[in-house]
Structure formats: structure tokens, C-alpha cells
Amino acid sequence: GRRSSSVIDEATVARLLRAATAARLRAYAPYSGFSVGAALLGASGRVFVGANVENSSYGLALCAERSALVHAIVRGERRFRAVAVIADSDGPCTPCGACRHVLSEFGGDVAVICANVNGQLRIRELRELLPDRNDTLRRGASS
């Protein structure tokens, strides 16, 4: 697969954080009170947003990152450059293990922009957040 480092420019980071911040306002998080917004940048340049959607059966909560991914897939986007995640967390909000795995389905060369509403920021590559992802189990999807 492609191994280029997805160096992400400041304007793109700002664009994704704006989109994620707006999406966060649509979160449905009455159980945890923890609203999360995500914005996923596709290879086409389009941005797909997501927010967490909770449920009275607590374990069924859908994270913002997977919400954004589903948006993108349904619109035909399957290659991704970056994803921004923002919440009112102590430090930059990082994707949970399940979201790392689900995002990795479509390749590990994705800049993960982790942020909080206080302006703290940390950028990592998805393949760093989920090393040794199970490429060998996948069929069809290329990275």
C-alpha cells in the first residue's frame, strides 16, 4: 500500500476542526453528556461530518468517527486523508479502539487530528494509533 506521510496543512486542519465543531452541536448524548464531533476528509476533497448518537441501551452508542465514516461510505467515498475529532475532553480527544479499527478498514494513511474545545491539538497517523492492523483479513479494500 501507499506509504506517503499524509502531512496535513494548517488550513485543512482548521477546515476540519470547524466542521467537526459544528457537527458536535448535533450530538445526541443525553446519557454521558459527552458530545463529540468528527469530520472526515475524503480523497475527493469532500468532508463528511459525524456526531455521537447514544441510546437508552448504553452499549449501543455510536461514536462520532463511525458516524462520519458511514456518511462518507454512503456517498461513495472510500479513501481518506484525515479525520478530526473534537470534544470537551481533558486533553485532545482520541478515537476509541473500535473506531481506529473501523477507520483502518479503508487504509492507515490517515492523519488523525485530535482536539478539544480548549484548543489543545495532537496529530497522529492512523497506522500509529492502530499498528499491525489486520490487512490480511481484508478482501477488496486497498490502501
> What's the CA gap between 114 and 3, in Å, rounded?
21
Site string for ligand THU, 14-53 (x = CB under 6 A): ---------------x--x-x-x---------------x-
Instruction: Name the grid cell of 11.
Output: 488550513
Backbone angles phi, psi at 39, to 5 degrees: -140, 125
The 10 Å Cβ neighbour count of residue 124 is 15
Kindly state the cell numbers that stand for 124.
497522529
**How many residues touch ligand THU (CB under 6 A)?**
14
Nearer to ligand THU by Cβ, of 29 and 123: the residue is: 29
Q: Which of residues 48-107 bind ligand THU (CB under 6 A)?
A: 52, 54, 61, 63-65, 85, 93, 95-96
Considering beta carbons, is residue 22 or 135 the nearer one to ligand THU? 22
CA dist list (Å): 131 to 19, 51, 61, 86, 134: 28, 25, 25, 23, 9
Report the interface residues with ligand THU, using CB under 6 A.
Answer: 29, 32, 34, 36, 52, 54, 61, 63-65, 85, 93, 95-96
> Looking at the annotation, which residues are catalytic?
65
